[in-house]
Structure 1
């Protein structure tokens, strides 16, 4: 295999000397990185999506995989004086339990409903705080 120039769309073209086959290999990492950057911009700003793109259905289809990306937070081991925990219901009958302090959110747990088991799963990842406050 050897490099054989570039396709008009910018992709690297490859050529096999043995079988005389020319092809372009697709690498979706750059495309996914760009789509994820667009997704992060969308979820962290207040601008409606319909103002940033002409076709919202196309945008939804292209960025659907981004919703499956889960943030990974590593526990710091810090013991907090006070932790606030609460749950909020989101689309598709899911519930997000959130543990936060005065500085911000420190952990979350997805569940189908608020329950003792779900709250225990949330608090299991944190060092035992001095006080836990809930509604």
Structure 2
């Protein structure tokens, strides 16, 4: 069983009923703090996105027939990998084709 700790003082909390929306309410005996524990599914959604990105499945093959997949993973579509940091100089030039294409449309 997972122990829920108080965000205020860090002691173990006990269940204290439910909210009107149906979320579990928790109560800390140490500091008398009542709260609901928010569930963060960002790690799970990132894993789903990476499984799709590096796998052979289409978005339609993913759970929810594509729509739920796109909704859950929408925050990861704007991530861009950073280029490696170059400490020494060399005669190689890195050209970013995406950057050039975006600027070419502005002209």
Q: TM-score, normalised by structure 2?
A: 0.55
Q: 1:56 aligns with which of 57, 61, 66?
A: 66
Equivalent pairs, count: 89
Q: Which one has the bigger strand percentage?
A: 1
Q: Which runs of 5+ in 1 are unaligned?
A: 88-95, 98-109, 116-135
Q: Which runs of 5+ in 2 are unaligned?
A: 1-5, 7-11, 18-22
Contact 2:15/2:27 (8 A) holds in 1: no
SS at match of 2:42: helix
Contact 1:3/1:13 (8 A) holds in 2: no
Match of 2:103 in 1: 113
Match of 2:50 in 1: 40
Q: 1:69 aligns with which of 79, 85, 95?
A: 79
Measured on the aligned residues, the alpha-carbon RMSD in Å equals 3.8
Q: 2:38 aligns with which of 26, 32, 36?
A: 26
**Distance in 2 of aligned mates of 1:46 and 1:60:** 16
SS at match of 2:95: strand
